[in-house]
């Protein structure tokens, strides 16, 4: 059993999801490891689902957080890509088997033995804790180089939200030709970044939302080309068969039928939200228009680095609300009501202090 060092963070202890100060330990920095002093950590909706055990797989206590940006303070002797003082990121996964077909294709995110950054167990038996904490120790293969020009706070959410939309855009062929029309359903953490990345790829982007509340922002600030309110039946009718792709970021129960109707023939619906129950899939629209629905889960390490570099080049960052660690519980309450434009980020280094 490796030696362990003291660490401090905030954890949920049961499914009320209330977070509170928590002392724990991290492993000693091994020869393949990078120790990261955490500066910022994004608050992902998955953190909320996990601390409240919505998916039934939570094992408490849980220190969430998988949108981590910090500074390398120690690197193991086998580590060549990073040195002390480098700005680095850690995302959703911290290990994989490194030998299966997925891993060999740089698709660690589809490895059947992938290890998530938190609420998971490593091969040495330790329970892994996430980035709402002061330090993390990660195998160098799962550490990302944070590009110059990408701010640490607003760049942190790219480590989950960014790659989660970037990867399917590439995989489902959305970036092959500019001028294609992408619908983004849901304007939250994932959705707002999908708009920005979609525009950077030269797509025409329409935001699809339940209410017109976010219309001005979507167009003036995020750069969407148009905005479609799903309850406006005339506008929905006019938009029938106009989109090449739709990215659906909504995790609440909802009907897929209106989204299918927006797709052109051969159109693709990519679903990224994680609802608790199955969704309803009408089959006729798939058949009549040769349409499809597919999914995607984050991205591999190589692709995540590519995404960070792309975002740095195009000045794409998340729209964030920076919070103190002590505000996390009220932030979670607001996140449950989608009351955030569009990602909370915890100012860990400046606000996390052992109690």
Q: Which residues bind another protein (CB under 8 A)?
A: 101-102, 110, 171, 241, 256-257, 264-266, 271-275, 278-297
Task: Work out how close the CB of 339 gets to another protein at its nearest, in angstroms, rounded to a whole number.
Answer: 25
Task: Work out how close the CB of 29 gets to another protein at its nearest, in angstroms, rounded to a whole number.
Answer: 31
Tell me which residue has tokens 């009718």: 237
Instruction: Choose between 101 and 339: whose C-beta lies nearer to another protein.
Output: 101
Three-state SS at 173 = coil
Task: Work out how close the CB of 224 gets to another protein at its nearest, in angstroms, rounded to a whole number.
Answer: 24
d(CA 192, CA 227): 13
Task: Work out how close the CB of 277 gets to another protein at its nearest, in angstroms, rounded to a whole number.
Answer: 8
Instruction: Choose between 186 and 273: whose C-beta lies nearer to another protein.
Output: 273
Instruction: Choose between 9 and 267: whose C-beta lies nearer to another protein.
Output: 267
- 204, 269 contact by CB (below 8 A): no
**Which residues sit opposite 130 in a β-bridge?**
none
Task: Work out how close the CB of 102 gets to another protein at its nearest, in angstroms, rounded to a whole number.
Answer: 7
Longest dimension (CA), the chain: 65
DSSP string computed for 48-83: HHHHTTTTS---SSB-----EEEEEEEE-TT--S--
Instruction: Choose between 105 and 350: whose C-beta lies nearer to another protein.
Output: 105
Task: Work out how close the CB of 330 gets to another protein at its nearest, in angstroms, rounded to a whole number.
Answer: 29
Instruction: Choose between 125 and 284: whose C-beta lies nearer to another protein.
Output: 284
Half-sphere exposure of 246 (CA within 13 A, CB side): 32
d(CA 178, CA 175): 7
Phi, psi dihedral angles at 349 (to 5 degrees): -60, -35
Instruction: Choose between 199 and 291: whose C-beta lies nearer to another protein.
Output: 291
As given in the structure block, the two tokens for residue 43 are 């608050």
b/e burial code for range 175-191 (CB count within 10 A of at least 16 → b): beeeebbbbbbbbbbbb
């Amino acid at each position: 059993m490796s030696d362990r060092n003291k660490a401090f963070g905030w954890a949920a202890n049961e499914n009320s999801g209330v977070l509170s100060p928590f002392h724990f330990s991290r492993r000693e920095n091994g020869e393949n490891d990078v120790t990261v002093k955490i500066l910022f950590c994004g608050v992902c909706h998955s953190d909320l689902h996990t601390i409240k055990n919505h998916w039934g797989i939570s094992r408490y206590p849980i220190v969430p957080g998988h949108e981590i940006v910090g500074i390398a303070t120690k690197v193991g002797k086998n580590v060549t890509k990073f040195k002390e003082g480098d700005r680095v990121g850690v995302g959703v996964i911290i290990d994989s088997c490194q030998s299966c077909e997925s891993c060999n294709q740089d698709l660690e995110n589809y490895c059947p033995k992938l290890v998530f950054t938190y609420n998971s167990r490593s091969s040495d038996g330790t329970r892994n804790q996430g980035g709402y904490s002061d330090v993390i120790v990660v195998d160098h293969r799962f550490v990302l180089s944070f590009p110059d020009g990408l701010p640490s706070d607003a760049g942190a959410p790219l480590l989950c939200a960014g790659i989660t939309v970037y990867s399917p855009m590439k995989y489902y062929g959305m970036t092959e030709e500019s001028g294609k029309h992408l619908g983004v359903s849901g304007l939250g953490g994932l959705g707002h970044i999908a708009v920005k990345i979609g525009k950077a790829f030269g797509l025409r982007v329409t935001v699809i939302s339940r209410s017109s509340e976010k219309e001005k922002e979507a167009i003036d600030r995020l750069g969407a080309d148009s905005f479609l309110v799903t309850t406006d039946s005339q506008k929905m009718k006019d938009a029938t068969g106009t989109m090449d792709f739709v990215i659906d970021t909504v995790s609440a129960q909802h009907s897929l039928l209106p989204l299918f109707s927006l797709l052109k023939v051969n159109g693709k619906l990519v679903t990224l939200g994680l609802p608790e129950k199955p969704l309803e899939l009408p089959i006729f629209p798939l058949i009549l228009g040769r349409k499809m629905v597919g999914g995607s889960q984050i991205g591999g390490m190589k692709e995540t680095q590519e995404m960070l570099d792309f975002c740095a080049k195009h000045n794409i960052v998340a729209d964030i609300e920076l919070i103190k660690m002590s505000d996390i519980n009220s932030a979670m309450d607001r996140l449950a009501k989608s009351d955030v434009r569009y990602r909370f980020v915890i100012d860990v280094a400046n606000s996390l202090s052992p109690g």
